[in-house]
Amino acid sequence: MVSVQQAERIAAAIELPDWVLTKSASLVYTCFGPAADAFERSIKTNFPAQHAFVEAWMRAHSHPFAERLPYLNPWHGIASVLAYLALILALRVLSRGVGKLSCRTLGMVHNLGLHLLSLYMSLGLMISARAAGYSLWNNAAGTSPAEWRIAKLIWLFYVSKVVEWLDTVIMLLKQNYRQVTFLHVYHHTTIFVLWWVASLLAPGGESYYSAMVNSGVHVFMYGYYFLTLLFPSGMVRDVLNKFKFVITKGQMCQFTFNCVQSVYDLLWVPRDKLKYSSVLLHILFWYMISLLALFGNFLKRQKSSHRRADTAAASAATEDTMAKPCGHRTDGTRGKAGMTRVQLEKLKSEQAAELQRLTRESGNGKGQNVSVDTMARN
């Protein structure tokens, strides 16, 4: 196992620089800040009491690190969620006029970027937690320099949820409307809100575990998505298709681990020795339960749909290519070996047409002493 001293050196080497936070915040504010500020002013003007209450609550409950972390203004967060929902509605309408887009290059860049970012966050949280002397569970969100590293990674994880909204944009541009389900929208909006709460109230402590595990799952998930775009067909794609449901099961496993973590902290650890917010742990537990239920239902429906599709395909193949090879037929005639019913009926029709042609050419309107069934047996 890596010692605390070794972990400290590694964590310091890969620490997210403070200037990344300030520069990224400045860039984002330049693009979207004026609109978000206008939204906040409208709230303050129309709902002054509610605005004052939220501001007072934040001052009373915010973690000391929250002042140093950008993009934690609640009104900007609400504006972001509303903009995301409005974008979904707008793209559903506009994409029909634009037409179906491939988005292959955009998807590859997006998935590879999130794959690498998730790898950095997962390993960074693991090493930084070790450097901070964390145990597996029941950790406090402290204010030491080692925990500032963790707080920055928690903040980065929170901000990455906005980047993941591009998943939805790509789906809509490709007109894969069936993928933008209630589960998809619910998951992408609520997880952003909950990690805003965690970043504001306790960016560290027990939150490191959920962010670390989720990032670890996303390493494989976005890596899988990248490879499916890189190999749209062929042998590699056939292998990748076998892991389709493994991704969903992996997500459900992480939800289960998070449930176990919250149950351990809330029920096993004595209340006077609990180092993290019990309110946040309750929220974590019930949120994971909701995701387990929704993802479980999704997995069940997908498997049922695939079974129905496989059954229909097998039935069609049997009907089309596995008809009786026509030895003795039920009508007493003998078909040509290896021919299906469809092929035999087609042959009989062609032979009937040929018989009529010969009849016309011979001038014998009463027909010739030849039958279709006799020709079919030849």
Per-residue pLDDT at 319 exceeds 90: no
Query: Is residue 222 predicted with pLDDT exceeding 80?
Result: yes
User: What amino acid is encoded at 105 in this protein?
Assistant: T
Task: Choose among 130, 123, 126, 121: nearest CA to 155.
Answer: 121
Distance CA 162, CA 192 (A): 7
340-366 pLDDT, tens per residue? 565 666 666 776 676 666 555 544 444
The alpha-helical segments, DSSP class H, found in 202-277 are 207-230, 235-241, 244-263
Task: Enter the tokens of residue 217.
Answer: 């799952």
Mean pLDDT of 219-240: 92
- Residue 323 pLDDT exceeds 70: no
Give the Cα separation of 247 and 224 in Å (integer). Answer: 8
Q: How far is CA 332 from CA 337, 343, 352, in A?
A: 15, 18, 19
* Maximum distance among all Cα pairs of the chain, rounded to whole angstroms: 109
* Predicted local confidence at residue 40, as pLDDT: 95
| pLDDT exceeds 80 at position 318 | no
Average pLDDT for 151-169: 96
Q: Is residue 196's pLDDT more than 80?
A: yes
**pLDDT above 60: residue 338:** no
Share of the chain above pLDDT 70, in %: 81
For the whole model, what pTM was predicted?
0.80
Q: What is the identity of the amino acid at 67?
A: E
Sign of the four-CA dihedral 181, 187, 188, 193: positive
Tens-digit pLDDT profile for residues 57-70: 999 999 999 999 99
The more confidently predicted of residues 170 and 336 is 170
pLDDT per residue as tens digits for the range 163-184: 999 999 999 999 999 899 999 9
Amino acid present at 270: P
What is the C-alpha to C-alpha distance for residues 262 and 134, in angstroms, rounded to an integer? Answer: 16
Residue 372 makes CB contacts below 8 A (sequence gap 6+) with 348, 351, 352, 355
103 near 169, Cβ under 8 Å? no
Question: Residues 203, 154: contact at Cβ < 8 Å?
Answer: yes
Q: Are the C-beta atoms of 128 and 20 separated by less than 8 Å?
A: no
Catalytic residue among 110, 187, 188, 218: 187
- Provide mean pLDDT across the span 332-345: 53
User: Facing residues of 328 across strands?
Assistant: 334
Q: Is 187 a catalytic residue?
A: yes
Please give the pLDDT value at position 155.
Answer: 96
Q: How many CA atoms lie within 13 A of 193 on its CB side?
A: 15
Closest to 75 in 3D by CA, of 98, 106, 54:
54
Cα 253 to chain centroid, rounded = 15
**If you write DSSP's letter for every residue of 90-153 in order, what string do you get?**
HHHHHHHHH-----HHHHHHHHHHHHHHHHHHHHHHHHHHHHTT--SS------SHHHHHHHHH
Residue 136, C-beta contacts closer than 8 angstroms, at least 6 positions apart:
209
Name the band, by pLDDT with cuts 50, 70 and 90, for residue 100.
confident
> Above pLDDT 90, what percent of the chain?
64
